[in-house]
Structure 1
Amino acid sequence: MRSISRGLAALLLLAAFAMTAVAAPPPAAKATAVAVTAGDGSNGSPVPAPEITVPALRARLDKIPEAVDTDDDVTALVAQTQDIVAQAQRFVASRAGPLADLNARLGELGTAPPKGTAEDADITRQRAALEKERNALDADIRLARLVAVDAQQRGSDLLAQRRALFEAHLLERSNSPLAGAFWRDIRSAWPTDRDRLVALEKEVRTGVSTALHGPERGGVIASLVGALLLALLGSWAAEHGLTRLAARSFPMGRLRRSLLAVAMVTATVLIVALAAQWGWQTLEDAGQWGPTAQRLGESVANFAIFVGFVIGLGRALLANGRPSWRLPPMADAMAARMAPYPWLIAGVTTLIWLTTQINTLVDASLAATVATHVATALALTALTVVMLMRLRLPEADVAPAIAAAPAPDALKPEEAAALAGRPLWVGLVTGAVAVVLIAICVLAAFGYVSLASFLASQLTWTGVVGAAAYLLFKFTDDLFIALLSSRSNAGQRLQKSLNVAPQTLDQAAIVLSAVGRVALFFYLVIALLAPLGTSPSELFQRSGKVGSSLKVGQFELVPGALFGALAVLVIGFLVLRLFKRWLDNSYLPSTTLEPGMRSSLTTLLGYVGGILVVASALSALGIGIERIAWVASALSVGIGFGLQAIVQNFISGLILLAERPVKVGDWVVLGTAEGDVRRINVRATEIQLGDRSTLIVPNSEFITKTVRNMTLANAEGRVLIRLPMPLTTDAQQVRTLMLAACSTHEGVLATPAPSLTLEGIENGLLIFQAIAYVASPRLAGGVRSDLLFVILEELKKAGLPMATPTTMVMAPAEPAAAAVVPATPSSPIPGTQT
């Protein structure tokens, strides 16, 4: 019967360890809670907890030593400092309301009158009493905040000492496991260690026996069975339920796969946490547990969250039974071979951690601690070696795959990648892991067992963190692509509602995904520096301390400020874009401003708004104008040399937008180029030429050179036709025909009316000049061509001759041989006219 009880106790401890539990309160906090609900000693009725006072908190903080010798002392003392901080914060919160009431009452009484002025004595007494009470309360609040700050600093110092102790013990050398002294030390220390283990066993057996043989035996057994079923069957049911839900309700695309994996890990952790809390709370309430056994149970419950996370993460990534939902590019056969390993990793790390925890609780000998380090290093090394061997694709799997897939297109992408060979980075990682494994074995053989155990633990922890990072990276990338990509439904709705270009949405998705990955990488580094099995609360606490600030020179960079500045940039430019769109579509069309002025005004306000957004982002980052003054001073030299042209064009662009000698929509002539002004940018202006090409002109050209603006004062265009006619031409008839042609053309304006003048006589020809006006200079070329066709046709019908150009034919010089050969009358001389 005694052996059965021992086996049952061990089974219950391991079952509770395999589950996830909500973190138990620290010892100091738990003692406080017991004190609050304790009876008065006579009838068991609860009495209120003693009131928190600042001197009591200061006295508790003064009792905490500033130096420690072991890690256990650090853990307990840090818990006490955290409890002091929590009580000080509760004290400040409880006094904030009365302090506000006192300030309000003093405000009702008004300020004290100047000296020599009479006031009612009762009001004076009330004001003096209230001010005295207010000052005392304010002093208590200030002292409580100071105690909280000092407690936080004491806790940080203790954690730093723990890291120093860890580093000091890490490189210590002990007896090698290959030497006889190692085993003699274990044999000599075994009697003492056995007695301590027996004491712990008695506490565990007593707690289990009283819990299972008490008056509520049936309820305890039912609760334990229910917790176990909830942890096992509940996780299985959640996995299958989430898979069906994802197939029906999750959005299409890559996001549904990563979202399902994240949901599965979260559901597994929550379900196992609930089951572990249920089971341990049942055992704790029903049994009589000793202090060491209770600490072991609470530690097991806290560590169980790591076990549940490892199992859930492994099952979510391998996705056996649903290969189409698998995130890693892994063949089905390899995923099936890797299926037991999440459970194996959880089991091996559980046994290692449990052994280490028991050694700590019973204060085991140095020989037992060294043996535990050796066992940890060897067990984790063997587990890693087996996993690496299983990750290799066996020849038995390659040959059937090649025979069954005659064409590469017939294979799945992950199978084709497996058959084609491993990527280079996989080989590099495998080689690095092999080197670390060899180093672990060598260190353990030479007696550096602490360092070997640490490397083995960190290698396993790195694998777990890397798998979690892979899942989170995939989820972050898929999330932003699904929300902002121009190909997604959400992105298309944003494109329609905000009038954003598809390329802009794609760029925003890529940038935000990169920012999210950088943030995840930051916490990944913090997690890699954490010990094996660190809880999420401890991880975020470490990340908050490590990443609270980064000082670069005289500038302190805070990660929170970085994200705040990024949020200001995104929101600011989004609001600026909406404001410009409102101006273009709603407000400016209701004014009397012309289109060119509207475009210039919108562009100018966009520049001003962009500067304000950037300034706000710098302010959120902690960089004020006074801090960047030295940057402007340093850049002034560069501006004076290399950036002079850029600054000149920028200032010229502002002048163009302000004075508007040239605005959007004008027809300008600049040198030999003429065309429409389409856009005035910060540095250059875009002019669309007649052949539909775009001419990019620096803004300084419009300020420093002569520019002909055809539409600055008058938007009408002029058509000029100069026609030479012979001297014998009937001038009146020509005038009538040309004016009639101009008047009948639909593009010619009636006001001002077309006109025709006889410019004079040139080279024996009459020069007629017709002038007509059109609505825009852009129409002048087409109208002039139409008028020429009509005028020439009418002149031809009227029989009026056109002037022909005078031609002169030069006869070539007669060759010398022509004097010898006589000319025949039938052959005229070439080049002569007859």
Structure 2
Amino acid sequence: MTRLTGWPALRWPVLRWLTLALALLAAPAPAQDQTGAVPITGVETAPTDGSLNYAEWETMAERAEAELANRNTSTDRLDEIRSQLAKWRAALLDAQSANSARIITLRQQLDALGPTPAEGETEAEEISKRRQELAGQLVRLQAPGIAAEEAYRRANGLIAEIDRNLRDRQADELLQLWPSPLNPGNWPEAAIGLSDTLLRLWDEAATAWEDPEKRAELFDNMPLILVLLVVALALVVYVRRWIEVFCDRLLTGASARGRSLWSLLASTGGVILPTLGMVALAAALVASGMPGEIGMSITSALPAVGFVVFAAAWLGARAFPLTQSGDAVLPLPPERRAEGRFLAVLMGLVVAAEGLRSAAMDAQAYSDATTSVMSFPILLTGGLILLRVGRVLRRAREQADRSYALRLLLLLARGLSVIGIAGPVLAAFGYVQAASALIYPAILSLGLITLLFILQRMFGDVWALIIKSDDKGRDALVPVLAGFAITLAALPVFALIWGARAADITELWTRFSEGFQMGETRISPTNFMVFAVVFIIGYMLTRLFQGALRTSILPKTSMDQGGQTALVAGIGYVGIFLAALIAVRSAGLDLSGLAIVAGALSVGIGFGLQNIVSNFISGIILLIERPVSEGDWIEVGGVQGRVRSISVRSTRIETFDRNDVIVPNADLITGQVTNWTRFNLSGRLIVPVGVAFGSDTRKVEQILREIAEAQPLAVLNPPPTIVLMGFGADAINFEIRVILRDVNFSLTVRTEINHQIVERFAKEGIEIPFAQSDVSLRNVEEIARALVVLQAGAQSDSAAVHAPASPDVETAPKGKPRSAAKTAVPPEDVKGSER
């Protein structure tokens, strides 16, 4: 007889664990419980009050080594030893930091005494004596930590050795070759085992019935049993109709945005209520007192079995709904969706069948041949279902566009198809445990993946309900991050499904919690959490102080807007820097070990980021010196506009065309910048004016001066200036030079001045010239006669070409004209003059 171990022995507890996880309940406590583990008989337990007895630890370690050396030590015994070693390891880890505060103080005291004198040098006697006293205290305080570290290393090594041993055993069990279930010679033995199980169940029930006390208990509990059976029948059989009516009532009063969410929540009743019905059925069987040992094992498995079947049906209904929306993950026709729902129920039945077989037969320790033959039909059915599910998923891939989710589904479909073929083949050859380790985890993993998709959609619906937007709900950042978080949280569940031990998961968490050593500092997730919390608090305080400055304090001062913005930005940078320093200090991180690495990287970073660093330094200079402030009208690099914001890397300029131009801060420091409005808004406006030759220049000057002085924005001290610039090709050029109180209105003033110039010049009879040219021709008569002669010659050549050939006319050689008319045109000069 062979007792099932490894995955076959663990799979049903794993199934129960997974069903509880799918029901959003807490998982059972892992094997490595560091708080309430049951002491091992004959093995010293770890201390619970913080004290350490190293003699007991030595005894514990020696016994653990002896158990490891014994190959006959059972797996359960090794698990118990490992649990106790884990408790010792945790206590030893805490003991390593004993006296740490006092040790730091002593080291600071030794540093205060100065360096140890070199060979041949002396120091004061009192300093030397004090140094020896402090050194002795330091050695005594460091001794417990050193001893704890040595014991910790030993415990850690023993735990690693136990884990390695257990993994090797599990691998050997998975590769164990049993008798082939296809061999007809093994069938009679399997039939005997099945009949023996049924006979035992009958014998247990008959024995209980023959017992007067049991029979009396049955009759006494008959009303309760009947009530429980009615409840179980109603919840298991008629629950679907109740759930549908309940969902309809919910959806009637629900908003359009929340219907999918309420529908999902209401549909979970299709899992919870039937499972409660199975609980009522199990309670009725227990109350009857009829089940024996095997019957109680089956009865205790009924709630988990029922939950698996109902959960599989619910997952199938959500993955392959009757009515499919446009954004469905699996775009399938109705017949394929119906097939998917049917296959989901079948997968639940396969897992439930294996659970019932394990509950009824594994405890009887039947032969390998019996277990192999009884397991093979279930494994074969599960493999065929997986193969069919893979085909359905591939059909969904063929009917949709390429997307990341569907590409993952295609990979999943291929994996299911491979497992659906490989599992039954392995079982047929006798590798039943390997086949079980493939088929059942694949089914459970498929259900867990479906659950993750459903939860992801639920988070999207909840977020859409919160922000009141259906379009942005599911694709928002918050639901995506929530889905990513639950996927990470599901990774340990996937590991347990595929045969990992709970101790393996807790060991990974222990390693992660311990952190890693950097120099003389151990960095753990706790340090990062403290750093994050302190930095966030410092950052929020900085932002609050900035807001108070911007809205309450600085507006009451005489500081200009640009200076206020620069001060608020500078305080923000200083506050963030201080928050980071305080966070590093609070977390206890010693970054001195990174000094060498930072020095080596600084050279490469300096070359690669020199432009960014240059712009950063320039931004700081701009914020301190403030040659340019927000709201200034500047011109840099041929770009004119107003400064909208100044950051540490660049400055944003809004041009007068309403375009944003990002200018590196280095250009504002090293280049030439024209700031039209830095210190005041006054500025000079120059308007050029041209008048025709012959105009009265004094009168023109007087008119232009009157127009300039009449402008409301013109400064009269100094007064506007009218300048006669010179004489051009077409006009006499004047300029109006006037200083405006606000240069921002220069275009408006220029427009008004030009309008008034046109009106006054027209009224005073002053001509505004424009560019013009006069052309004069001489010998017009000779040119006309030459044109007539040329026209007559062209007409005669055209008539000769169209006339019929005459025998009396000599044909000219090819390439030469038949006749040529030369007209002597006297050379005449045709001259044009411009004026």
> Same fold judged by TM-score > 0.5?
yes
Q: Which residue of 2 aligns with 1:755?
A: 720
Deviation at 1:644, TM superposition (A): 0.8
Question: 2:644 aligned to 678, 689, 694, which one?
Answer: 678
Q: Deviations 1:206-259 (Å, cap 9, x if unpaired)? A: 678867741532333134224414632674366325523552455534x64356
SS of the residue corresponding to residue 608 of structure 2 reads coil
Deviation of the 1:661 alpha carbon: 0.7
For residues 537-576 of structure 1, the aligned pairs below 5 Å read: 546=508
Partner of 1:357: 359
Conserved? CA contact 2:777–2:832, under 8 Å: yes
- How far residue 650 of structure 1 moved from its aligned partner, in angstroms, is 1.7
Residues 247/470 of structure 1: CA separation in 2 closer, same or farther (3 Å cut): same
Looking at structure 2, the residues matched to 306 and 652 of structure 1 have their Cα atoms a distance apart, in angstroms, of 66
Counterparts of 2:693 and 2:431, CA distance in 1: 119
CA offsets 1:46-97 (integer angstroms, 9 cap, x no match): xxxxxx9999x999999999669999975799699989999xx9xxxxxxxx
Matched, 1:257 2:263: no
Q: CA deviation at 1:561?
A: 9.0
Measured after TM superposition, the shift of residue 657 of structure 1 is 1.9
* Correspondence 1:288-687 to 2 at 5 A: 294=296, 297-302=299-304, 304-320=306-322, 328-385=330-387, 429-480=412-463, 483=466, 487-488=469-470, 510-531=476-497, 546=508, 589=555, 591-605=557-571, 607=573, 632-687=598-653
The structure-2 alpha-carbon separation of the partners of 1:70 and 1:565, relative to structure 1 and needing over 3 Å to count, comes to farther
Do the aligned residues in 2 keep the contact of 1:722 with 1:769 (CA within 8 Å)?
yes
State the percentage of identical aligned residues. 23
Secondary structure (helix, strand or coil) at the match of 1:371 reads helix
Query: CA 1:527 to 1:364, structure 2 compared with 1: closer, same or farther past 3 Å?
Result: same
How much has 1:374 moved relative to structure 2?
2.7
Name which of 146, 165, 169 aligns with 1:165.
169
**Residues 1:213 and 1:240: Cα distance change in structure 2 (over 3 Å):** farther
Query: Quick one: which amino acid aligns to residue 225 of structure 1?
Result: L
Q: Does 1:716 align with 2:682?
A: yes
* CA distance 1:341–1:688, change in 2 (3 Å): closer
- The change in CA–CA distance for 1:654 and 1:227 in structure 2 (over 3 A counts) is farther
- Post-superposition shift, 1:169? 0.5
Q: Which residue identity lines up with residue 367 of structure 2 in the other structure?
A: S
**Where do residues 761-776 of structure 1 align in structure 2 (5 Å cutoff)?**
770-776=736-742
Classify 1:380/1:681 alpha carbon distance in 2 versus 1 (closer, same or farther; 3 Å): same
CA contact (8 A) 1:548 1:559 kept: no
Q: Counterpart of 1:646 in 2: which secondary structure? A: helix
Is the CA contact 1:211–1:217 (under 8 Å) kept in the aligned structure 2? no
SS at structure 2 position matched to 1:530: helix
- Relative distance call for 1:288 and 1:756 in structure 2 (3 A) is same
| Distance of aligned partners of 1:560 and 1:222 in 2 relative to their CA distance in 1, 3 Å threshold | farther
Partner of 1:38: none
Q: Secondary structure at the match of 1:772?
A: strand
1:219 is the counterpart of 2:184: no
Residues 229 and 461 (structure 1), Cα distance of their counterparts in 2 relative to 1, 3 Å cut:
same
Q: Classify 1:333/1:234 alpha carbon distance in 2 versus 1 (closer, same or farther; 3 Å).
A: same
Counterpart Cα distance in 2 of 1:72 and 1:269: 42
With over 3 angstroms needed to count, the CA separation of the structure-2 counterparts of 1:431 and 1:283, relative to structure 1, is closer
Structure 2 counterpart of 1:264, which letter?
S
Of the candidates 204, 212, 232, which is equivalent to residue 236 of structure 2? 232
CA distance in 2, matches of 1:475, 1:633: 49
Shift of 1:380: 1.8
2:797 counterpart residue number: none
Query: What residue identity is the alignment partner of 2:334?
Result: D
Q: For the Cα contact (< 8 Å) 2:385–2:420, is it kept in 1?
A: no
How far, CA to CA, are the matches of 2:600 and 2:509 in structure 1? 31
Q: Is the 8 A contact 2:531 2:587 kept in 1?
A: yes
Contact 1:303 1:533 in 2 (8 A): no
Determine helix, strand or coil for the equivalent of 1:529: helix
Distance of 1:321 and 1:724 partners within structure 2: 81
CA distance in 2, matches of 1:324, 1:342: 22
Q: CA deviation at 1:642?
A: 2.4
User: What is the deviation of 1:710?
Assistant: 1.5
Opposite residue 174 of structure 2, the aligned amino acid is: L
Distance 1:786 1:590, change over 3 A: same
1:295 Cα offset (Å): 5.4
Between 436-445 and 238-247, report the one with greater CA deviation. Answer: 238-247
Task: Measure the CA separation in 1 of the matches of 2:724 and 2:163.
Answer: 101
Does the residue aligned with 2:366 lie in a helix, a strand or coil?
A: coil
**Alpha-carbon spacing, 1:552–1:328, altered in 2? closer, same or farther (3 Å):** farther
1:94 counterpart residue number: none
* Deviation per residue, 1:656-684 (Å, 9 max, x gap): 12221111111112243332222223322
Q: Rg larger in 1 or in 2? A: 2
Using a 3 Å threshold, how does the CA distance of structure 1 residues 165 and 697 change in structure 2: closer, same or farther?
same
Q: Tell me, in whole angstroms, the C-alpha distance in 2 between the residues paired with 1:241 and 1:701.
A: 72
Q: 1:701 to 1:342 in 2, by over 3 A?
A: closer
Tell me how far apart the structure 1 counterparts of residues 156 and 241 of structure 2 sit (CA, whole Å).
44
Whether the 8 Å contact between 1:330 and 1:414 is mirrored in structure 2 is no
Q: Does residue 176 in structure 1 map to residue 180 in structure 2?
A: yes
Conservation of the 8 A alpha-carbon contact between 2:186 and 2:370: no
Bigger drift between 433-442 and 661-670 goes to 433-442
Letter aligned with residue 777 of structure 1: V
SS class of match (1:247): helix
Per the alignment, residue 45 of structure 1 pairs with none
Match of 1:688, SS state, is: strand
Deviations 1:18-53 (A, max 9, x none): x9899999999xxxx9xxxxxxxxxxxxxxxxxx99
Q: Is the 8 A contact 2:515 2:525 kept in 1?
A: no
- For residue 778 of structure 1, report the CA deviation from its aligned partner: 2.8
Distance 1:314 1:766, change over 3 A: closer
**For 1:443, what is the secondary structure of its paired residue?**
helix
Classify 1:833/1:216 alpha carbon distance in 2 versus 1 (closer, same or farther; 3 Å).
closer
Equivalent pair of 1:68/1:158 in contact (CA under 8 Å): no
- Partners of 1:203 and 1:85 in 2: CA distance: 43
1:317-374 Cα shifts (integer Å, max 9, x gaps): 3444898998743333333344444443333322211212333323333333333443
Give the unaligned 5+ runs of structure 2: 1-15, 37-47, 91-150, 787-823
| Aligned-partner Cα distance in 2 for 1:322–1:801 | 82
Shift of 1:581: 6.8
CA gap 1:635/1:362 in 2 versus in 1, 3 angstroms: same
What is the Cα deviation at residue 643 of structure 1? 1.5
Do the aligned partners of residues 182 and 793 (structure 1) sit closer, same or farther apart at CA in structure 2, a change above 3 Å counting?
same
Q: Structure 1 residues 515, 623: CA separation in 2 closer, same or farther (over 3 Å shift)?
A: farther
In structure 2, relative to structure 1, the CA distance for the partners of 1:389 and 1:196 (3 Å cut) is same
TM-score, normalising length: structure 2 = 0.64
Secondary structure (helix, strand or coil) at the match of 1:353 reads helix
Once the two structures are overlaid, the 10-residue window that deviates more, 728-737 or 663-672, is 728-737
